[in-house]
C-alpha cells in the first residue's frame, strides 16, 4: 500500500511539475539552440571570450535597510570618489528592503551611479514564510518593493531590474516565476562553492550550479532570466578551508593589512583563474563586529584601484557584460544617471495595526507627498484602503 502511495505521489509530483511549467533540459554542449544572441547562456565556468581578455569584475553588494546613518558614515566615505581603470566612478548594487529605509538616501545612491535592486517589503524572518509563499505573495513582496522604491525615492522603475531574496532564501521555480511575472531581469540569491566559479547564465536550461542544503533550486525552464551567482569566499581555519559567502560570516580578523591581504588573495583566485565575476556581500555588522575590518576593506579597495584589469561594477553591469562580452580593452563602466536634486520629507504614518512608523522620502518634481498610511504588502503606495 505504502509503495503504491509513494508511486502515486511521484506521478502526481511529475504531473504538477509538467503542468505548471516546462522542465528544463540539460544543457549539453554543443547546444546550437542556446545562443547569446537569443539571450540564452548555459551554466559555465568558461569565459565567453579568451580568459586573458576578460576583465575581472567585482560587485560589492549590500542587502540591508538604507539608513541615513549607514549612508553618511559608512557607504559614502567608503565608496564615493573611487574610480575604475577607465576613469569612471566605481559602482555597486544595493538590494533595498523596506523597513527603516530612508528613500531620500536611496535616491542619493542612485544619483551617484549605484544600482538599486529589490530585497522585499516585509523581510520576514520566518524561513517557512519564504519557503511556502505563493507566486502572488512573492510578486507583492518584490514588485511591490520596486513600486515603493520607484515612487518614494523617485527612481524610474525600469532601472530596477535585480532582486536578492532575504537571507538568500530561494523557493526554486516559485521564486523565479514571481521574478519573471514582475519583470525582473536577474536574481543574485544563488551561492556557489569557491571551487565552482560560474559566470552569469540564463535559466533556459537546467543549471549546473550545486543546489545546496536547505535551498530549493529551479528545475523548470525560465527563458532569458539571468542568474548572477555568488561565488563563495574561503578562509583557512583549523588546517582546512571553509567556504563563506558573506563577509560577516567569514570571521576573518587580524590587522587591517591582514584583512586586506585575505580579501586580495580571494580575488587572485579568480583573477589568475577563469576570471568569473566576483560578488562580495558586505553587511554593515561586519564593520561593527570585526575590529579593523573598515580599514582593511578600505585598503583592499585602494589596492584594487591600482589594478588596470579589475573593475568595481554593479550586478546589472555584470549581466550586461555577460550579454555583450567585450574584451578588457573595450570595457567601459560609466553609469549615466540624470542629475536630480532631492529634498527630504519625513512622514509620520500608521501601519494597518495602528503602529507608528516614520518614512523618509525624496521630494522632487511636485512629488514627495506623504502617503495616507505606511506602505506595506498589498498596498505599496500607502493609500487609504476602501471598505469592501
Ligand X SMILES: *[C@@H]1O[C@H](CO)[C@@H](O)[C@H](O)[C@H]1NC(C)=O
**Binding status of residue 1 toward ligand X by CB under 6 A:** no
176 vs 162: CA distance, rounded Å: 12
Q: Which residue is nearest to ligand X (CB)?
A: 248
43 vs 169: CA distance, rounded Å: 21
Q: Which of 44, 67, 112, 248 binds ligand X (CB under 6 A)?
A: 248
**Binding status of residue 167 toward ligand X by CB under 6 A:** yes
Smaller CB separation from ligand X, 207 or 293? 293
3-state secondary structure of 309: coil
Smaller CB separation from ligand X, 179 or 331? 179
Distance of CA 39 to the CA centre of its chain: 20
User: Is residue 26 exposed (0-12), middle (13-18) or buried (19+ Cβ within 10 Å)?
Assistant: exposed
**Binding status of residue 246 toward ligand X by CB under 6 A:** yes
**Binding status of residue 294 toward ligand X by CB under 6 A:** no
Stretch that binds ligand X, among 201-209, 210-218, 249-257, 351-359 (CB under 6 A): 249-257
Contact 297, 36 (CB under 8 A): no
Contact 149, 109 (CB under 8 A): no
**Binding status of residue 129 toward ligand X by CB under 6 A:** yes
**Binding status of residue 148 toward ligand X by CB under 6 A:** no
DSSP string of 67-125, one letter each residue: -HHHIIIIIHHHHTT-B-TTSSBP--EEEE-STT-BHHHHHHHHHTT-EEEE--SS---
Stretch that binds ligand X, among 73-81, 150-158, 245-253, 257-265 (CB under 6 A): 245-253
Smaller CB separation from ligand X, 198 or 287? 287
Q: Which of 14, 72, 126, 272 binds ligand X (CB under 6 A)?
A: 126
**Binding status of residue 215 toward ligand X by CB under 6 A:** no
**Binding status of residue 258 toward ligand X by CB under 6 A:** no
Stretch that binds ligand X, among 28-36, 77-85, 283-291, 307-315 (CB under 6 A): 283-291
Q: Which of 48, 172, 223, 283 binds ligand X (CB under 6 A)?
A: 283
Residue 355, C-alpha cell as written in the block:
503602529
Q: Which of 43, 47, 56, 63 binds ligand X (CB under 6 A)?
A: 63
Q: Which of 140, 135, 133, 127 lies closest to 222, judged by CA?
A: 135
Helix (H) or strand (E) holding 320: helix 315-323
Q: Which residues bind ligand X (CB under 6 A)?
A: 63, 122, 124, 126, 128-129, 167-168, 246, 248-249, 251, 253, 281, 283, 285, 290
Amino acid at each position: 500500500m505504502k509503495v503504491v502511495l509513494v508511486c502515486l505521489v511521484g506521478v502526481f509530483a511529475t504531473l504538477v511539475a509538467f503542468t505548471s511549467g516546462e522542465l528544463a533540459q540539460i544543457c549539453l554542449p554543443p547546444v546550437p539552440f542556446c545562443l547569446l544572441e537569443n539571450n540564452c547562456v548555459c551554466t559555465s565556468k568558461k569565459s565567453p571570450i579568451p580568459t586573458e581578455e576578460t576583465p575581472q569584475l567585482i560587485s560589492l553588494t549590500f542587502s540591508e535597510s538604507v539608513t541615513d546613518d549607514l549612508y553618511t558614515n559608512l557607504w559614502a566615505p567608503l565608496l564615493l570618489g573611487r574610480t575604475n581603470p577607465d576613469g569612471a566612478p566605481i559602482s555597486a548594487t544595493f538590494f533595498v528592503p523596506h523597513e527603516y529605509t530612508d528613500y531620500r538616501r536611496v535616491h542619493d545612491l542612485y544619483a551617484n551611479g549605484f544600482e538599486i535592486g529589490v530585497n522585499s517589503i516585509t523581510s520576514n524572518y520566518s524561513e517557512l514564510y519564504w519557503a511556502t509563499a505563493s507566486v502572488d505573495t512573492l510578486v507583492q513582496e518584490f514588485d511591490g518593493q520596486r513600486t515603493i522604491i520607484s515612487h518614494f525615492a523617485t527612481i524610474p522603475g525600469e532601472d530596477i531590474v535585480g532582486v536578492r531574496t532575504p537571507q538568500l532564501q530561494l523557493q526554486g521555480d516559485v521564486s523565479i516565476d514571481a521574478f519573471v511575472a514582475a519583470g525582473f531581469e536577474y536574481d543574485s540569491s544563488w551561492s556557489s562553492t569557491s571551487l565552482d566559479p560560474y559566470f552569469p547564465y540564463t535559466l533556459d536550461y537546467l543549471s549546473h550550479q550545486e543546489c545546496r542544503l536547505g535551498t530549493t533550486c529551479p528545475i523548470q525552464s525560465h527563458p532569458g532570466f539571468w542568474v548572477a551567482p555568488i561565488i563563495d569566499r574561503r578562509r583557512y581555519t583549523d588546517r582546512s578551508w571553509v567556504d563563506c559567502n558573506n563577509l560577516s560570516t567569514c570571521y576573518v580578523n587580524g590587522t587591517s593589512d591582514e584583512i586586506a591581504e585575505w580579501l586580495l588573495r580571494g580575488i587572485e583566485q579568480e583573477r589568475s583563474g577563469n576570471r568569473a565575476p566576483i560578488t562580495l556581500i558586505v553587511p554593515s555588522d561586519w564593520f561593527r563586529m570585526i575590529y579593523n575590518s573598515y580599514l582593511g576593506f578600505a585598503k583592499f579597495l585602494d589596492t584594487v584601484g591600482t589594478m588596470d584589469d579589475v573593475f568595481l561594477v554593479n550586478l546589472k553591469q555584470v549581466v550586461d557584460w555577460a550579454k555583450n562580452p567585450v574584451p578588457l580593452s573595450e570595457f567601459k563602466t560609466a553609469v549615466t544617471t540624470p542629475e536630480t536634486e532631492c529634498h527630504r520629507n519625513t512622514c509620520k504614518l500608521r501601519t494597518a495595526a495602528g503602529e507608528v512608523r516614520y518614512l523618509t522620502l525624496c521630494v522632487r518634481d511636485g512629488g514627495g507627498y506623504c502617503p495616507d498610511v505606511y506602505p506595506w504588502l498589498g498596498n505599496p503606495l500607502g493609500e487609504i484602503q476602501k471598505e469592501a
